[in-house]
Amino acid sequence: MSNIDVPLSEAERKEVAQHMLEGVLNRASVLCLIYVAVFGTYSLTSLSFIQLFDPSVTLLSNTWPRLLLNVLPLVAMYFFIRHPKPRRTLKVWVWSVGLPLIVMAACTVHVWRIMADIQSEIYLYVHGANAFILVTSVVVVALPPRYLLAQMTAYVFFLIAPIAYLLASAESYGLLRFAMSDYLIALPVLGFLGHSIHGLRLKLATLDVKTKKQAVSFLGPQIAKAIYEQNDDLLRSRRIEAVVVQMDIRSYSDFYRSNDAEKVRRFMSEYHSLVSRAVGEFGGYWHKSVGDAHLISFGAMDPSPADLSDLPELAGEVATAEDRRRHYLFQKAMMTIDAVVKEFETAKKKHGILDQIRIGAAMTFGDLEIRVQGDASHKRELDIDGRAIIRCARLEEYTKMIRMNVAPSSSVLVVSPELALESQKANLKTWTIDSEEKQVRNFPELSAVHYKVFGEVENSSKIVRVS
């Protein structure tokens, strides 16, 4: 798990920051609903002690201001936080400063008015409520440092300073010392707790991103994302049409025998890396590799498209969509193979490889079965199976035939007839199978395939230009 200690990239740091803000907003939205219930209940329960200081206060005069100044703003803040359009940073700022303003508004309902009338003893009845809001908002939400500082500052200016002023104006110095000593102790402690809890959440979020990154490097982005997001649609057996690519290195056995083991190891390590990069860049999925051979798919690991075959009125649109998807997957596969061949030649020059090794690749399109293989208590994997896999393997073998007859020193791609239209649009050539000797093994029904010979190839003695 050495990759866990690797520093995060800029994109990963942004992902962690967004994840942290999302968590803050989720907790803040829950607290909004809790505070709605708290202030709604408080508008009823506070009447008894308020009437001790002002008997003229009625249930209505105590209830409607709190509903207007506390409950409605909290409801509005809840829906603002949950709304998808505003930026997360704006939502967090609204929560950080807006909540102290709502608490201040709660205090203005009778309490501060009575305190201003030199009846400061009423403060003893609300000190606990203020502390409850302060503690829960700071500790539960655990804001990032700059937002936490802003909220603590807002509490000082909008809550603590007015209380200190009113108690000092009433010359209630005993209550002033009581209140301020509590706040002087509570604010640093709560700030420390809030910052520490945020730091712990940050470490967990960072570890989660690093673990996910580690999982992606072994499982691929599709399966790793499906596991983390619990997307069961991708983690079940199913059937889907997709492009399959199989490739290996032609003359690999001769190359392996004629070079020392360390040179082969270094070159093959770079070869596997360049295949993985190309497949990932163009949205494919690298299913497995054995030695120098790779099995890759495009579209197989996508969610299964909706079945609209029972809607005849949509038949034309469905067929068009399927054609576009097939063409799109073909293009992605072609770009991947082009990139692999290009980087393969660069890697050969880099490592001083003079052997006549080239890429042999095949491409098919067809119905695949995605199957969950293995035992749940040990190891499971998503495997692909189907006639298209076998046909692709046989066509990959068939690159030997094309190379022998057309371009012995070049990398070659062979494409199955299912992709004839796409092959023609991409200017691939047609190879006619007009004799038994030219038949594709296990697939005698194939009368032609399409192929591409990759460009200008430099070897140790000369340059062979392939048309």
**Shared domain check, 240 and 134:** no
User: Beta strands of 90-181 (E only): which ranges?
Assistant: none
- Judge whether 410 and 402 are in contact, CB under 8 Å: no
Is residue 33 over pLDDT 90? yes
Is residue 457 over pLDDT 80? no
Residue 465 neighbours by CB under 8 Å, 6+ apart: 456
Task: Please provide the size of the chain in residues.
Answer: 467
**Domain span holding position 130:** 2-219
Structure tokens at 223: 């399966």
Residue type at 313 in one-letter notation: E
Q: What is the CATH number of the domain that holds 246?
A: 3.30.70.1230
**Shared domain check, 246 and 192:** no
Residue 226 located in a structural domain: no
> Please, which pLDDT band fits residue 463 given cuts at 50, 70 and 90?
very low
- Judge whether 400 and 452 are in contact, CB under 8 Å: no
Residue 6: what pLDDT? 63
Residue 305: what pLDDT? 56
> Please, which pLDDT band fits residue 104 given cuts at 50, 70 and 90?
very high
* 193-245 confidence digits (pLDDT tens): 999 999 999 999 998 888 888 877 777 777 777 777 777 766 777 888 999 99
> Please, which pLDDT band fits residue 365 given cuts at 50, 70 and 90?
very high
* 125-182 confidence digits (pLDDT tens): 999 999 999 999 999 999 999 999 999 999 999 999 999 999 999 899 999 999 999 9
**Shared domain check, 32 and 171:** yes
Residue 227 located in a structural domain: no
Domain total of the chain = 2
Question: Which of the listed residues 154, 187, 219 is the one where a domain comes to its end?
Answer: 219
**Shared domain check, 382 and 239:** yes
What is the value of pTM for the model shown? 0.66
The two beta strands, 358-375 and 412-415, are: parallel
- Judge whether 255 and 342 are in contact, CB under 8 Å: no
Residue 319: what pLDDT? 67
Residue 224 located in a structural domain: no
**Shared domain check, 380 and 277:** yes
**Shared domain check, 282 and 207:** no
Measured between alpha carbons, how far is 109 from 302 in angstroms, rounded to an integer? 58
- Judge whether 298 and 333 are in contact, CB under 8 Å: yes
**Shared domain check, 206 and 275:** no
